[in-house]
Amino acid sequence: MKRILAIILCLSMLFLCACGAKKTDKELAESCIDKSVEELYELIGKPESSDYAPSCLGDGEDGMLFYDGFIVYTYREGDTETVYDVE
């Protein structure tokens, strides 16, 4: 009886581990804050659309990258673009 109970518990644990929650695209995007936008693209791909405007914080541009269900905000200056927020 103890052996059967132990086997059932082990199988239950395996099932729970195998069905663990995967990170959503938004959570992956949040992990890219203060990193290059290229890292974001490697994790979740290119956005559905984007929009850029001159930044009032510097010489570069502020970007909004539109994904399904969330927006990634970036700052682009020269050849570098950095993720600074996800909403």
Q: Residue 58: its pLDDT value, please?
A: 85
Tokens of 75: 């700052």
Low-confidence ranges of the chain (pLDDT < 50): none
Among 71, 76, 40, CA closest to 57: 76
Query: Model-level pTM greater than 0.75?
Result: no
Q: Residue 15: its pLDDT value, please?
A: 64
Q: Residue 10: its pLDDT value, please?
A: 66
Among 64, 27, 24, 26, CA closest to 48: 64
Distance CA 5, CA 1 (A): 6
Q: Residue 23: its pLDDT value, please?
A: 79
